[in-house]
Amino acid sequence: MNFEFGLYVFMLAAFLGFELIRKVSPLLHTPLMSLTNAIASISVVGAILISGEEHVSTLSRVLGFIAVVAATTNLVSGYLITDRMLKMFKKKEPSRK
């Protein structure tokens, strides 16, 4: 019944996601999207598992490798640009005369 357990985990996480995201101010919707986009690159876990297996066909190895590259690109650029954007949000008027 592992599948059923998985569905419960999914259901709880989805509701939690809804509640958390609803509280995010529209001001931050773009950084929020890049952050969740970066979190979706968690698929790198699956990619590593495929690429690291001992006995896999060359095709699977190549697919796994491309997947690692693609997921890492998503991951690295997603987190970096989110931080770059957030750095720009300032509350106080910067004092420059």
Write down the least CB distance from residue 87 to other proteins, Å.
Answer: 7
Q: Is 4 in the site for other proteins (CB under 8 A)?
A: no
| Residue 90 touching other proteins (CB under 8 A) | yes
Q: Which amino acid is at 80?
A: L
Distance, CA of 37 to CA of 12 (rounded, Å): 20
Please tell me the count of residues contacting other proteins according to CB under 8 A. 83
Sign of CA pseudo-dihedral 64, 70, 76, 82: negative
Mask of contacts with other proteins, 13-52, x by CB under 8 A? Answer: xxxxxx-xxxxxxxxxxxxxxxxxxxxxxxxxxxxxxxxx
Binding to other proteins by residue 95, rule CB under 8 A? no
Q: Does 91 sit near other proteins (CB under 8 A)?
A: yes
Quote the tokens at residue 11.
């259901």
**Minimum distance from residue 1 beta carbon to other proteins (Å):** 11
In this structure, what token pair is assigned to residue 64? 């796994």
* Tokens representing residue 26 in the block: 């529209």
